[in-house]
Structure formats: C-alpha cells, structure tokens
Amino acid sequence: MSGAQQVLAAGPSVSVKGRWQPPGHGRMHGPDVALAIAFVAPYAALFFAFAVYPIGYALWMGSKPSLYADLIADPLYLSSVLNTMLFVGVGVNVTMFLALLLSGFFMRPRWWIKALLVVYVLPWMLPAVQACISFRWMLAGEEALVDRALAVLIGVDGPIWFNHWWLALGANIVAYVWKWMPFWTVIFLAGRMAIPRDVSDAAAVDGAAGSRRFVHVTFPLLANLYLVCTLLSTVWTMGEFTTVYFVSGGAPVWSTEVLATLAFHYAFDAANPALGVAAVMSVLPLLVPVVIVLMRALQTRAVQL
Amino acid sequence: MILGIVLLIWTVIPVYNMLLIALDPEEGEVEFSGNLWPPEPSLESFRVVLTQDARYLEHFWRQLGNSLYIGLSTMVLTVLIASLASFAVGRMRLGQGSPLTSAAVLTNASLITYAIPASFLIFPFHRIMHDYGLSNDPWAVIAAQVTFATPFAILTLRQYARLIPLELDDAARVDGASSAQVYRRVYLPLMTPALAVVATYALVLAWNDYLYQFVLLASEKHMTAAVMQAQLFDDADPPWNAMMAAAIIYALPPVAIFFALRRVMMAGLTSWWR
C-alpha cells in the first residue's frame, strides 16, 4: 500500500491542499526544508542500507523454489513450524493478557506496590542470555533449584524436564513470559495513565467498579494499544532465538526447535545459508498480514503509547 | 497482597538461582542441597571473575568493554537519529502538502523493518556486512541494533511529542530561533522523559543480543561478554560458579542505568496522566 493511499484511507475529510493553516503555521521556508531533510537523512540512510537492502537480499537468497521442496522434505522443519506457532500463540497471548491485568494492579497508589514495580521490571533489564542460562540450570541436573524445591516442599521427584517435548516447550514459554511481561506491563501502565482522570471518575460516579469498569470503560480505551502491542510482540516473538537456544537448546533431540534456531543450524552448522533463509521466509505469508494490520492500527489516533 | 508476594517470588527466583550458584564456594557441580542459602557463602567466584582467574574468563574485562562499547554506541545513535527524524516530521511539518513524504510514510516505512524479525535478517546481514567492509567489526553490530531500535524509538517519541504544544515552538520562532535552535533548546529538554525511555530501550536491546554479536564478530579480539558466556554450552565441565558471578556482573550496567533514569521515566509517565 503506497503512502498516498494510506493518507487517503485515513479519511476523505482530509484534503491535503486546502487544509486550514493556523496563523503563524505558514509553509516552511527554503532553509527549513533543507534542514528538515538533513534531519531525516540519517534515518533514511540507515533504513535503506540496513533494512531495505537486507530484506531484498534475503528475498533473493530464498527465491529458489527447490529450497522449499528441501524444507518440506525435512521433518524437523514441520515440527519447528508447529513449535513456533505454539510458542508465539501461547507465549504472546499469556504475556499480553497478564501484563494488561497486572498494569491495573500497579496503578494502585500504595507505597509497597510502587516498590514492587521497581523489582518487577528487573527481568526486562537482565540480559537475556544470562537469564535463560539461569532458567536452564534451575531445571537441568539433579541438584537443580526447581527439582530440589519440589522434593522439599511436596516430596516428589521432578521429571527430567528436557526429556519431554511438552515440558521443554513449556519451560521455554515460561522463561519467555518471565523476561518480557514487565516490558509490556510498563507500556500498558503508561496507557492506563494516559486515560484522563475525569473518565474514570465519571465511571466511578456512575457506579462502575471492579470488573465492570474494566470491561466497559478501561478496556475499550486500551483496546487499540492492546492490539498494537500484541501484533508488535507477535512479529518480534516469531523470530525469538535466545530463549529457545539457551533454555531448551532444542532438547530433547531437536524436538523443540523453532524456526529461528532451526534456520541458524541450517545456515551455520550445516553451512547452507540459503536453506536457512528459505526456512524463515516461509513464514512471510503469516507475517505480512500482521504487519499490514499493525500499520492500520497505528493510523488510529487512539494509540497512547 | 498475595498477588504481590507471588509476583515477587516469580520475579526473583531466576535471579536468586544465579546468586545461589555464584555464592557457592564449591568448584565444579552446580550445588543445591535443600538449603535456601549456601552453608558457607563466599565471594570467591566474584574475586575469580574480577581477577580473570578462570577458564573462559581470561579476557573478561576486555569483553565487557566490547559489550559496553556496542551498547552505548547503539544507545546514543538511536536517540540522536530517532529524535532528529521525529522532530523533522512532527515539528517542522516536513512534507506538508505532499502526501508522499508525510509522517504516515515514515511510520509505515519504519515498520517494514519489523516485517521480518531481527533474527531472520542475520543471514543477509552476514553477507552484506562483508560487502560494506564491516565484517568482524563492532560497527556492523551497532548498525544492525540501531536499525532495529529506531522504528520503535520514533514511534514512542512521536506519541510523546503530541503532549508538547506546538505553540511553544512558535513562541521560540517568533523570538527568532531557527529550527535547529528549537530542536536543541525546546524539543530535546521537553522530551527528556521519552528520550530516557528510548535510550534504555536501545541499550537493553543491544545488551540482550547474542545472535548478532556471535555471527558478526568472529575474532577473539572483538568477542563480547554475552558470546563468551554462551560458550559453556559446548563444555562438559565449565567453571559454573565463576560464570554465574560473571553473569551477575554483566547484568549490572543496565540495571544501574535503569535505576539512574527511573525518576526521569516515572516523571514522564505521571505527566502523561495529569
């Protein structure tokens, strides 16, 4: 969709030429135009050199049809696609939903909740590799923290976590939620704070409280932000590498690989970069609609990031 | 209250696990034998890290320096590039009258960066950096990270800039300020909270990265702390306690920056509210 269409789609009432100009908001003068272009130039250069060109290059690398025949023939590819869908579907939705609810919890004006918020955002600040290694060693090995805690608290021997496909996948998802929930909670918190006080006051006067206030007042105001964040997070999580690579590492026997890690193995362990590119390009038909919906949602003015 | 306690435990457990392993004096096995705190906690493993006295850790300080160099460069460049672009589009009304250069294009174009996730683009990047003469150069990683950080940064800055009345710019212009002066004297100071958010975001993005640093920096000289830490997966008996101590040290800079900028960021959040 071109930029012109975007602007037209935004509403027929916006006619670009005859727009009313507030006094003093005249057209830009010559030097200002040059300056404005100079201000945008660094970003434009970056965008073309490191976004457009690599994306085009990737499309070219993955353009041979025979690559996709190789992919389909590989059973690992199909299981990785399934794992990616499960990881994204469960991981993103759980993260977003809990973050939305918790942002309400952190709105309460109590000193200990403010203090807790400072601790709560810690996972976002902690480096992903180290956090994931820590998760792995809480589960792997006989003396691991979780196994010991299970034995001491309820007296059961923990399973060998990374010997079961679903336990290993679950561990990946839990680590992912742990790492990214704080970030989105803070974003939603900012969104909630942007709701004018009089709206919630009016709702309170009308007797809306608790879950009713959330369903009828808060959520409709946050819905667009929630949509934008969920889509953005979907795109980012589709390429999640670190969590899977360091928590389960594909164990047991490659069965929890996702597309990003599988493509990495294709490209750098099997020395076949084109196949790696093809593996990740194969999710483009899923990603492109997500990005288009995201662009649409961002046109709506109600996003309060 | 119960929710608070559950959240606290949930958040702290992996960190606690790191501390537990780091403070355990025993060499070798990952030890945890039922007690909630090691019987004889010792700072030995931290000493080992600080004096670079264990396998893998011989060049810890240089590796941490490399990480810092990449992280801070990403942070500064992201803030600079994103603030310039958002100012030009939001405040100078660049492209008024011609829809092709309007703000919508910038926002949508920047989102194209996210159409393909970062980890998927590593393969073309690997080739392209060679063409640009940046193979095995920290600037290859910095360029990649800035590319991935700026779209979100521009988005955040543009949202926040709507809170700053355009009349302030006009007042400065009436007083004879040029656009460059408006950017420096009006826009940047008023945007401080949003800039703090963006800066933290960019730093954390670079600090979290493993893939780009691993693939694009082949030599020992440019190796970063994150890549070094990941090496132990190929090792049957790595020095666990020291590695966890190193992990905790590596985690400190972003946490410190967050606490330093916390007040500014919170000020930004509450000013939204009022």
Contact of A268 with chain B, judged by CB distance below 8 Å, is answered with: yes
**Could you tell me which residue, A120 or A212, shows the higher pLDDT?**
A120
Q: Are B216 and B273 in contact (CB under 8 A)?
A: no
Write out pLDDT tens, residues B160-194.
787 788 888 888 888 888 888 888 888 888 888 88
* 8 Å CB contact of B226 and A53: no
pLDDT surpasses 60 at B81 = yes
**Could you tell me which residue, A176 or A17, shows the higher pLDDT?**
A176
* 8 Å CB contact of A130 and B273: no
* 8 Å CB contact of B273 and A53: no
> Residue B240 has what pLDDT?
74
Q: How far is A289 from chain B (nearest CA, A)?
A: 9
- Interface-testing mutation among A88, A108, A111, A129, with chain B (most B C-beta atoms within 10 A): A129
- Span of A97-101, B1-5, B160-164, B253-257 with lowest mean pLDDT: B160-164
pLDDT surpasses 50 at A128 = yes
> Residue A24 has what pLDDT?
43
Mean pLDDT of B117-142: 86
Write out pLDDT tens, residues B34-65.
556 666 667 777 877 777 777 777 788 888 89
Distance of alpha carbon A258 from alpha carbon A240, whole angstroms? 8
Q: How confident is the model at residue A26 (pLDDT cuts 50, 70, 90)?
A: very low
> Residue B274 has what pLDDT?
32
> Residue A177 has what pLDDT?
94
| B148 located within any domain | yes
* 8 Å CB contact of A137 and B30: yes
> Residue A23 has what pLDDT?
43
> Residue A21 has what pLDDT?
42
pLDDT surpasses 60 at B197 = yes
**Could you tell me which residue, B86 or A212, shows the higher pLDDT?**
B86
Q: Is the peptide bond before A123 cis (omega within 30 degrees of 0)?
A: no
> Residue B243 has what pLDDT?
80
Mean pLDDT of B118-140: 86
For B126, the domain range is 61-230+252-273
| B67 located within any domain | yes
Q: With contacts defined as CB-CB under 8 Å, which chain B residues touch A129?
A: 208, 210, 226, 229-230
Segment holding B131, helix H or strand E: helix B122-131
**Could you tell me which residue, B18 or B54, shows the higher pLDDT?**
B18
Mean pLDDT of A250-271: 86
pLDDT surpasses 70 at B27 = no
Find the residue in B nearest to A280 (Cα). B120
Distance of alpha carbon A288 from alpha carbon B230, whole angstroms? 33
Q: How far is B55 from chain A (nearest CA, A)?
A: 18
Write out pLDDT tens, residues A34-83.
787 888 888 888 888 888 888 888 888 888 888 888 888 888 899 999 99
Write out pLDDT tens, residues A190-203.
788 777 777 777 87
> Residue A221 has what pLDDT?
81
pLDDT, averaged across chain B: 79
pLDDT surpasses 50 at A305 = no
CA atoms within 13 A on the CB side of A211: 0
Question: Using CB atoms, which residue from B33, B118, B226 is nearest to A239?
Answer: B118
pLDDT surpasses 70 at B26 = no
- Quote the tokens at residue A173: 């998802």
Q: With contacts defined as CB-CB under 8 Å, which chain A residues touch B250?
A: 127, 130
* 8 Å CB contact of B210 and A57: no
Write out pLDDT tens, residues B225-245.
888 888 776 666 667 778 888
Mean pLDDT of A179-193: 86
Contact of A48 with chain B, judged by CB distance below 8 Å, is answered with: no
Q: How confident is the model at residue B93 (pLDDT cuts 50, 70, 90)?
A: low
- Span of A1-10, A22-31, B95-104, B202-211 with lowest mean pLDDT: A1-10
Mean pLDDT of A96-112: 88
* 8 Å CB contact of B128 and A10: no
Q: Which candidate, B197, B196, B108, places its Cα nearest to that of B151?
A: B108
Q: With contacts defined as CB-CB under 8 Å, which chain A residues touch B30?
A: 137, 141, 143-144
Write out pLDDT tens, residues A131-156.
888 888 888 766 677 777 777 777 77
| B182 located within any domain | yes
- Interface-testing mutation among B123, B139, B167, B259, with chain A (most A C-beta atoms within 10 A): B123
Question: Using CB atoms, which residue from B33, B126, B210 is nearest to A242?
Answer: B210
| B29 located within any domain | no
Burial class (CB in 10 A: 0-12, 13-18, 19+), B34: exposed
pLDDT, averaged across chain A: 80
Contact of A287 with chain B, judged by CB distance below 8 Å, is answered with: yes
Mean pLDDT of B2-14: 85
**Could you tell me which residue, A57 or A206, shows the higher pLDDT?**
A57
Domain boundaries, chain A: 29-61, 67-299
Mean pLDDT of B195-203: 88
- Interface-testing mutation among B122, B131, B178, B232, with chain A (most A C-beta atoms within 10 A): B122
> Residue B73 has what pLDDT?
95
Find the residue in B nearest to A150 (Cα). B34
| B235 located within any domain | no
Region of residue A303 (left: phi > 0; alpha: psi -120 to 50; beta: else): beta
Q: Does domain A67-299 have CATH number 1.10.3720.10?
A: yes
> Residue A218 has what pLDDT?
80
In total, the C-beta contacts within 8 angstroms joining chain A to chain B are 300
> Residue A172 has what pLDDT?
93
- Quote the tokens at residue B235: 């090792």
Q: How far is A207 from chain B (nearest CA, A)?
A: 22
> Residue A296 has what pLDDT?
81
> Residue A147 has what pLDDT?
74
Q: How far is A189 from chain B (nearest CA, A)?
A: 8
Q: How far is B134 from chain A (nearest CA, A)?
A: 12
> Residue A236 has what pLDDT?
87
Q: With contacts defined as CB-CB under 8 Å, which chain B residues touch A262?
A: none
Q: What is the CATH number of the domain that holds B161?
A: 1.10.3720.10
> Residue B143 has what pLDDT?
92
pLDDT surpasses 80 at A11 = no
CA atoms within 13 A on the CB side of A47: 21
Q: Are A232 and A294 in contact (CB under 8 A)?
A: yes
Q: Which candidate, A156, A146, A130, places its Cα nearest to that of A242?
A: A130
Question: Using CB atoms, which residue from A43, A126, A304 is nearest to B85?
Answer: A43
Angstrom distances, CA of residue A231 to CA of A177, A215, B104, B271: 16, 21, 18, 27
Give Cβ neighbours of residue B139 (< 8 Å, ≥ 6 apart): B73
